[in-house]
Structure 1
């Protein structure tokens, strides 16, 4: 049952990915499969279930089997980061509120769960991580990038609006290359929309 395919994936990982909870239970309870086994990329069954929003599988692996919620893959990613990026709010809330997942941990590029959510345009997750978990909106990754810059790059206006008006994010922050959120907006073709949002918000702050 611990046999792996060419990518290092086990039957448990496949079952977790597609959300087959009964198969997952059978493999773990009856066959004794190790829930913390990693594939060639460092991924675990928990990470795969978290990415796909299979909350019942996630709960079972963590609460029933003791899967490590803070374990990292080869890129430093965690189950929380993967759920955050794909917008799986129920999984994110469970991992943080019930399992104590670390919202401030960074991957090998220095990105946090908040950055992953902002980059993916996942406003509900962004709001939760900031409002309920106190995630720092101005934290920078290894290249000096912020959650705001990542949201701007993806053209995620709702996330931009929240980070600037409700947090507030530093709109003047620059990365290692001297680029600010406004520069990213220009480079990615979102200049008019994003600049309007950024500066209308700034004006409302000082006005």
Structure 2
């Protein structure tokens, strides 16, 4: 059990307390586990960004916890990355932490780093061998996640590392372009259109195109960009036979409906394949 005094000392980076009480601690740090989170002392120090304490723990045999998983399947490296603590990431990797361990749902540290939009951490992981092509259980790669978050510098960097990483689909057929369109990331879409080679009106498993996603979510700027620069069609149908105007209307996106009617001449009485207006 990771007792309160030890946990508190680690969290406040109190190396003096740890050194003074070291004789009372077991040599096997693996037995010091937080009762709820399953965190080891190394997890706690990594999350809190306590470099001095982390170094001391590793020197005292806590390196045996480098690959230990907590209740969420995270290892200390996952915790350091999620908290964007680059010095901690460097220390853990220098001590031999596995670069691409999987947490629950098959998330690697690089995937977590891409959700935190920390280019320095991402760069360090990749320079130490992190695999940009690994997928989680849903088929999402680190690049998909970076496109969702919308940091243009990171997206460009990942494309510099692997120029074909844009060419990937999730288990339900979604491309990074679908993801960026759904989340309204105009800058990322411009990068994807200029550096990738996406087919116009590429559909996912449900027949949704990036344009349909933009219309559903009310991103007029994205819809206009896809229509004008990617030749996306306002008449492409999803698997239920609905076109953009039906998708926008169903989602309650009145401005998108108005945009299609006034800017692109869509017939307000246009029927879907099921006969819906």
Per the normalisation by structure 1, the TM-score is 0.91
| Superposition RMSD in Å | 1.4
2:81 is aligned with 1:20: no
Q: Any gaps of 5 or more consecutive residues in structure 1? A: none
In 1, are the aligned partners of 2:184 and 2:219 still within 8 Å (CA)?
A: yes
Q: Name 2:139's counterpart in structure 1.
A: 76
Q: Name 1:202's counterpart in structure 2.
A: 264
Q: Name 1:93's counterpart in structure 2.
A: 156
Q: Name 2:71's counterpart in structure 1.
A: 6
Structure 2 residue aligned with 1:46, among 92, 98, 110?
110
Bigger Cα Rg: 2
Distance in 2 separating the partners of 1:17 and 1:137:
36
Q: Within 5 A, what are the aligned runs for 1:58-137?
A: 58-63=122-127, 65-137=128-200
Distance in 2 separating the partners of 1:49 and 1:99:
17
Distance in 2 separating the partners of 1:161 and 1:180:
16
In 1, are the aligned partners of 2:178 and 2:213 still within 8 Å (CA)?
A: yes
In 2, are the aligned partners of 1:51 and 1:88 still within 8 Å (CA)?
A: no
2:243 is aligned with 1:187: no
Q: Which moved more, 1:46-55 or 1:128-137?
A: 128-137
In 2, are the aligned partners of 1:69 and 1:101 still within 8 Å (CA)?
A: no
Secondary structure of the structure 2 residue equivalent to 1:124: helix
Distance in 1 separating the partners of 2:109 and 2:165:
19
Distance in 2 separating the partners of 1:97 and 1:136:
21
Q: Name 1:160's counterpart in structure 2.
A: 223
Distance in 1 separating the partners of 2:226 and 2:206:
20
Q: Any gaps of 5 or more consecutive residues in structure 2? A: 1-65, 266-277
User: Which structure has the higher relative contact order (CA within 8 Å, separation 6+)?
Assistant: 1
Distance in 1 separating the partners of 2:68 and 2:219:
42
Q: Name 2:99's counterpart in structure 1.
A: 35
In 2, are the aligned partners of 1:70 and 1:101 still within 8 Å (CA)?
A: no
Distance in 2 separating the partners of 1:189 and 1:54:
35
C-alpha distance 109-164 of structure 1, shift in aligned 2 (>3 A): same
The alpha carbon displacement at 1:14 in A equals 1.3
